[in-house]
Structure 1
Amino acid sequence: MDYIRITSIEDPLFKKMHDLMQEVFPPEEVLEFELWEEPLKDPDIRVFVAVDGEQVVGATEYRYYVDWNIAMTDFTIIGQDGRGIGPFLANSRLKDLKQLANENGKELYGMFAEIYNPNVVDHSSTLKVKSMDPLVRREVLSHLGYQRLDFNYVHPSWKNDGEAVSGLDLGFMPFNDDSTKVEAELVVNFLTTYYSVLSNKPQEWLTMIEALKGKETIQLLPL
């Protein structure tokens, strides 16, 4: 497999990736095709696909924030079971992020990820790939080192319709194994920056952000 970066919606690989996204994610989690044009041009947003021959068999999007020395895993897509696509993407992504942090003169502090709560979200009726089941994905992320930030999490819908999307936890994987909490200010700064592209924020999200501003730290709990 090859690990190839996509920087334009004109890239034929992007159409294949977007089709794959619509197969594994609910509609409110998928940004419309045309709206990807600007994000893909952003040098801080890194979209890579796993390519086998001419087929896109997996994909991942992530970003590195130089000022905070943290990363965000936007999504990971595994298109086929039993191919080692997940480890290939995870290892390739981590290698790339560590290189970015090294160029920043630092060692990567940690990574955020939105993680489905399988007790709340059930995608089993539409799943074509068992590896993408929320329970499986949550267990994999737990094994990688992700933990759950201790607060009730919602995020604005990527449809930018002002709706709040629930059924997820905000996870964080610290690269210091002794870490048991994260500074609330870092979480607030990250979330407000990450969702700055969406102009129509739901009240539930705004209330959540204000509550986080009143905290000093947020505890990390097992997934």
Structure 2
Amino acid sequence: MKKLQAGTRGKQSSAGLPNFVTLVQRYKKAVMGIEVVQVSNGQRSTGFGFPWERIQPRSSRPALNIGTGFVFHPKGYILTNEHVVSDADKIMLRVYGKKDLVEAKVFARDRKHDIAILRADVETPSPILRLANAKDVHVGEWVLAIGSPLGLDNTVTVGIVSAKNRPLQIGERDYPNLIQTDAAINRGNSGGPLINLRGEVIGMNTAVSQSSQGIAFCHQRRCPAQENR
């Protein structure tokens, strides 16, 4: 296996497998946990994403939805799945190294394509995470996911790209080009980055198979705001 450079490509371990430590240390501050609070009466179910993240029927008690976002723009904009923040009354961010939650607002959203951009009064980390081109995603390449499963921030899992261009319908949304991966994806990972060894985001963690293990799907779509960086 060709030796990879340290920094954006990580190092090789003595066993010939990638060492993801460098990538995690470099980009961990660009990933944020998301808590969505809904205080309205009534009931709602998103119908998408991970089954544990769906808002369940409730009375007047606030409901909590969890997810992940990441800074992808030098002005500090945060990318996540739209279904994570859909119909939110309040969106709070868990920022790396900060004790208190920070309130965020939806800057832009695209429900059809399940993309939302958030803005918050937080310092822009350096470096930020960049989005990869679709042509640079290859079946069999190593990837890592950083997110907040069960609300546990900066949790890292590792796998490979198992397949590309998987079509899937979740609720009313059609995803024609999902990336399939065997990296462990759990509750709270929605909207988090799937990162290649070059430190590029190749997709957002979006859905898991409820009937099997080792099958998760990541949303691959070029964000319009990327064009204005």
Q: Do they fold alike, i.e. is TM over 0.5? A: no
RCO greater where, 1 or 2, for CA within 8 Å and sep 6 or more? Answer: 2
**When you count helix as a share of all residues, which structure comes out higher?**
1
TM interval, short-chain normalised: under 0.3
Q: TM-score, normalised by structure 2?
A: 0.27
**When you count strand as a share of all residues, which structure comes out higher?**
2
Q: TM-score, normalised by structure 1?
A: 0.28
